[in-house]
Amino acid sequence: MGIVIVDQDRRVNWGKEIAIIIIILVFIAVGYIIPYFMAQKEIQQIQDMKEKVEKYVKDSKYFESQLPTIENNIKKIKVISNELNTLRLVLNESVLQRFILVEIPHILPPEAWMTNLNVNFDAKTASFGVNIVGSRDRVLQNSAQLLDNINNSIIFKNPKVTGISLQEKEGEVVSNFNVEVNFEYSVDLLENYYKNLK
């Protein structure tokens, strides 16, 4: 047995090899870890999207199940709306009648009275007749006053005299002088008038 002397220059430098191995392992790890985390992120996004889609599907099924209820409610709303429109027409009719009862004494001259009131609420038009009695001159004077009063009244829009019938001759007493008046009226004005009456 003898002593073996090893040349120091021939010793393996393990430090370099270890460093190279570590660098290689780091590259391998990075090469696997980065795609892994990227894949995890993509998987999470897909999962989130799946949950959203499931929620949308669930919501759409819920809304689909609610469609009959919604349609029912729409029908009820339409019925209520029609009833409100009917009530509004009744209110307008009542207000117009009240208004005419208040306004007519101001527009009718003496020896005159109203006949044949006819109201068309859909077209917002109305018509009535006026009978005037007295002497011919007085009747003509009163009818002129009536037309002026109608034209100056706030309720009558576009008044039109559609018929005048005077059959008596000059000097005779007029027993029945008829004036037919057609006019439009404003619903808003009637409603404001009604509010002021309260």
d(CA 77, CA 167): 56
**pTM score, whole prediction:** 0.40
Query: Does some domain include residue 44?
Result: no
Residue span of the structural domain in which 162 resides = 87-197
The answer to whether position 119 is within a domain reads yes
Q: Does residue 185 fall inside a structural domain?
A: yes
Q: pLDDT 10s per residue in the chain (198 long)? A: 555 555 555 555 677 777 778 888 887 777 777 778 888 888 888 888 888 888 888 888 888 888 888 888 888 888 888 877 777 766 666 766 776 677 777 777 777 777 777 766 666 677 777 777 777 777 778 778 877 887 787 767 777 766 666 666 666 666 566 677 777 766 666 666 666 655
Q: What is the CATH number of the domain that holds 173?
A: 3.30.1360.100
Could you give the angle at the alpha carbon of 52 between the alpha carbons of 51 and 55, nearest 5°?
85
- Would 114 be classed as within a structural domain? yes
The answer to whether position 64 is within a domain reads no
Does 180 reside within a domain?
A: yes
Query: What's the total number of domains in the chain?
Result: 1
Identify the pLDDT of residue 66.
Answer: 80
Asked whether residue 116 is assigned to any structural domain, the reply reads yes
Q: Which two tokens stand for residue 29?
A: 């790890």
Residue 33 lies in a domain: no
CB-CB contact of 175 with 133 (8 Å): yes
- What is the residue whose two structure tokens read 């009163």? 142
H-run or E-run covering 125: strand 125-135
